[in-house]
């Protein structure tokens, strides 16, 4: 199967799933108690105004009619007006999603940078002290929800040791460069604002670490398992006999085969990262989509909730397709389409 046909098939399947998600969340959002029109108007609204607002929001129409109108709008990139901040939901999402994406990317980078070497080291000195420490770290990493890690890291590294800032995305004195990509750190590099970049990096460290701990644990375990297999195999013995250096052996024989399962695991991790980002952003006051999402949920902002869930689902599906493509790219022997979901 060609890459294009594979891509097309995955995209069509994703669209069907997305349509299903939209029906699911849209119906859920309309059957619940509490009148969104009253909430949108504020606490002192009179009954007639509430009725007028209900009419304006189409809340007095049948569910199917509401849904068709919603889909019509969504296809044009219009997710309605937020009942909470009275702005187009799309505008808020466009502004906050890149912040969350940046945090997740940083977490992914940390996962790879810490997890893979940890696995290699553990496998090389198997059952030694380092291996046991690594095991303990990966056990603990997987054992606590990210918000617990966020709080422990905050207390340890921000409040007590004061190595990292406590919360936020940038210091008050720093001003973000003009947005090109929406990703602050990338924008800083483009604009050449190194001081801001440094400040942004310092702010992103703890949230990204809290977010990546469970992933680090899994990647380290998987890398270790793969490496152990490789170290036991014959060609490593041969390589050793030819006096290849340890590092180049690890790179050549162990890392490459480990890359594919690692990528696949990343695909699975994205769901967890997207969900946990909500918690970590809440702890660190990181101004991503979660802040809006949580407010939308608490304020019963129908359009906001539906918009956030749909966009997150779309991002998740897109990321999965991307991971599949990456896997195919890394190893063309893997038959496209053999992996599903």
Partner 1 sequence: MGEFKTALRRAWYRFSRNAGSVVGLAIVGVIVLAALFAPLITPFPGHAGGALDILNANHPPDGRNLLGTDLVGRDLFTRIIYGYRLSLFMAVVVLALTVPVGVAVGLAAGYAGGMTEAVLMRITDVFLAVPPLVLAMAIMGLLPPSLIYGMMAVSLMWWPWYARLAFSIARSLRQEGYVTAAEVIGASTWHVLLREILPNAMPSILTKMTLDVGFVILIASSLSFLGLGVQPPTPDLGSMVAEGAGYLPDLWWLAVCPGVAILLVILGTNLLGDGIRDLLEAER
Partner 2 sequence: MRGLFHITLAGLIAAGIATAPARAETVLRTEETAPGELDPARVSKYSDGMLAFNVYDALVLPGAGTAQIEPLLAESWTVEGQVYTFKLRPDAKFHSGNRVTADDVIFSLNRMATMGTGFSFLFRNRVETAEAVDARTVRFTLKSPFAPFLANMARLPILDSKLVMANKKDGQYGAFGDYGQEWLMAHDAGSGAYRIESHNPQELSVMVKNKDYVLGVPDAAPDVVRLRYGLDAATIRAMISRGELDIASQWMAPEVKRALSSQPGMRLVNEYGLGQFYIQMNTKKAPLDDVHCRRALAYAFDYNAALSLLTINKTTVAGKPSRGPLPDGAMGADPNAPVFAQDMDKARAEQAQCKYKAADSKLEISWIAVVAIEERFGLIMQQSFAALGYPSDVVRLPYPLYTDRASKAETTPHFSQIYVNSITPDPDAVIYNMYHSQVAGTWQATSWLLNPEVDALLDKGRNTVDPAARATIYNDVRQKIIDLQPTIYGFQNVALFVARDTVDIPALQDPAKMRHVNAANFMFRQMLMK
Asked if 303 interacts with partner 2 (CB under 8 A), we say no
Q: Which is nearer to partner 2, 105 or 176 (CB)?
A: 176
Q: What angle do CA 168, 174, 178 make, to 5 degrees?
A: 100
Residue 93: how many CA atoms within 13 Å on its side-chain side? 23
Asked if 271 interacts with partner 1 (CB under 8 A), we say yes
Alpha-carbon distance of 148 to 279, in angstroms, equals: 9
Task: Kindly list the distances between the CA atom of residue 213 and the CA atoms of 152, 158, 282, in Å, as whole numbers in the listed order.
Answer: 12, 17, 17
- Name, in order, each residue with C-beta under 8 angstroms of 194's C-beta and a sequence gap of 6 or more: 188
Cα of 198 vs its chain's centroid, Å: 22
Helices (H) then strands (E): counts for the chain: 14, 0
Alpha-carbon distance of 201 to 77, in angstroms, equals: 32
Candidates 30-38, 222-230, 239-247, 258-266; binding stretch for partner 2 (CB under 8 A): 30-38
* Residue 109 C-beta: closest distance to partner 2, Å: 21
Residue matched to tokens 């008050």: 172
Backbone angles phi, psi at 66, to 5 degrees: -60, -40
Number of amino acids touching partner 2 (CB under 8 A): 44
Asked if 254 interacts with partner 1 (CB under 8 A), we say no
DSSP annotation of 115: H
Q: Select the residue interacting with partner 1 from 16, 58, 194, 329 (CB under 8 A).
A: 16
111 binds, among partner 1, partner 2, none (CB under 5 to 8 A by kind): none
Candidates 109-117, 254-262, 278-286, 320-328; binding stretch for partner 2 (CB under 8 A): 278-286
- Name, in order, each residue with C-beta under 8 angstroms of 232's C-beta and a sequence gap of 6 or more: none
Q: Read out DSSP for 58-113?
A: TTTS-HHHHHHHHHHHHHTT---B-TTT-SBHHHHHHHHHHHHHHHHHHHHHHHHH
Asked if 173 interacts with partner 2 (CB under 8 A), we say yes
224 close to 132: Cβ distance less than 8 angstroms: no
Number of amino acids touching partner 1 (CB under 8 A): 52
Window 160 to 179, contacts with partner 1 (CB under 8 A): 160
167 binds, among partner 1, partner 2, none (CB under 5 to 8 A by kind): partner 2
Q: Select the residue interacting with partner 2 from 92, 212, 269, 303 (CB under 8 A).
A: 92
Candidates 13-21, 189-197, 209-217, 226-234; binding stretch for partner 2 (CB under 8 A): 189-197
Residues counted in the chain: 341
Q: Select the residue interacting with partner 2 from 13, 52, 130, 186 (CB under 8 A).
A: 52
DSSP annotation of 149: H
Candidates 3-11, 136-144, 164-172, 242-250; binding stretch for partner 2 (CB under 8 A): 164-172
Candidates 24-32, 41-49, 53-61, 67-75; binding stretch for partner 1 (CB under 8 A): 24-32
Alpha-carbon distance of 264 to 339, in angstroms, equals: 10
Q: Which is nearer to partner 1, 83 or 196 (CB)?
A: 83
274 close to 312: Cβ distance less than 8 angstroms: yes
Candidates 109-117, 183-191, 233-241, 305-313; binding stretch for partner 1 (CB under 8 A): 305-313
* Residue 285 C-beta: closest distance to partner 2, Å: 4
Residues lying near partner 1 in the complex (CB under 8 A) are found at: 13-14, 16-18, 20-21, 24-25, 28-29, 32-33, 139-140, 142-148, 151-152, 154-155, 159-160, 270-272, 274-276, 278-279, 282-283, 293-294, 296-298, 300, 305, 308-309, 312-313, 316-317, 341
- Which positions lie near partner 2, rule CB under 8 A? 33-36, 38-39, 41-46, 49, 52, 56, 84-87, 92, 154, 158, 165-168, 171-173, 191-194, 282-285, 287, 291-292, 295, 298-300
């Amino acid at each position: 199967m060609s890459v294009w046909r594979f891509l097309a098939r995955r995209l069509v399947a994703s669209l069907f799933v997305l349509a299903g998600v939209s029906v699911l969340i849209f119906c859920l959002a309309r059957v619940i108690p509490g009148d969104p029109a009253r909430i949108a108007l504020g606490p002192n609204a009179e009954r007639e105004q509430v009725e007028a607002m209900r009419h304006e929001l189409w809340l007095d129409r049948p569910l199917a009619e509401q849904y068709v109108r919603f889909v019509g709008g969504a296809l044009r990139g219009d997710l309605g007006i937020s009942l909470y901040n009275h702005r187009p939901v799309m505008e808020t999402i466009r502004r906050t999603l890149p912040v969350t994406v940046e945090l997740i990317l940083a977490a992914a980078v940390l996962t790879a940078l810490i997890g893979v070497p940890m696995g290699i080291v553990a496998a090389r000195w198997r059952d030694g002290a380092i291996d046991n420490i690594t095991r303990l770290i990966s056990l603990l990493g997987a054992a606590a929800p990210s918000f617990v890690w966020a709080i422990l890291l905050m207390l340890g590294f921000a409040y007590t040791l004061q190595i990292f800032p406590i919360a936020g995305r940038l210091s008050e004195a720093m001003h973000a460069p003009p947005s090109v990509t929406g990703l602050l750190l990338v924008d800083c590099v483009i604009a050449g604002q190194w001081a801001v970049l440094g400040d942004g990096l310092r702010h992103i460290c703890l949230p990204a670490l809290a977010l990546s701990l469970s992933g680090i644990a899994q990647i380290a375990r998987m890398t270790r398992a793969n490496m152990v297999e490789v170290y036991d195999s014959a060609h490593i013995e041969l390589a050793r006999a030819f006096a290849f250096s340890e590092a180049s052996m690890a790179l050549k024989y162990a890392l490459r085969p480990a890359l594919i399962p690692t990528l696949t695991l990343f695909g699975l991790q994205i769901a967890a990262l997207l969900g946990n980002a909500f918690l970590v952003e809440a702890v660190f006051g990181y101004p991503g989509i979660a802040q809006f999402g949580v407010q939308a949920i608490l304020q019963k902002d129908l359009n906001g909730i539906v918009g956030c869930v749909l966009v997150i689902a779309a991002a998740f599906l897109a990321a999965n397709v991307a991971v599949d493509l990456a896997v195919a790219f890394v190893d063309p022997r893997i038959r496209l389409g053999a992996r599903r979901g």
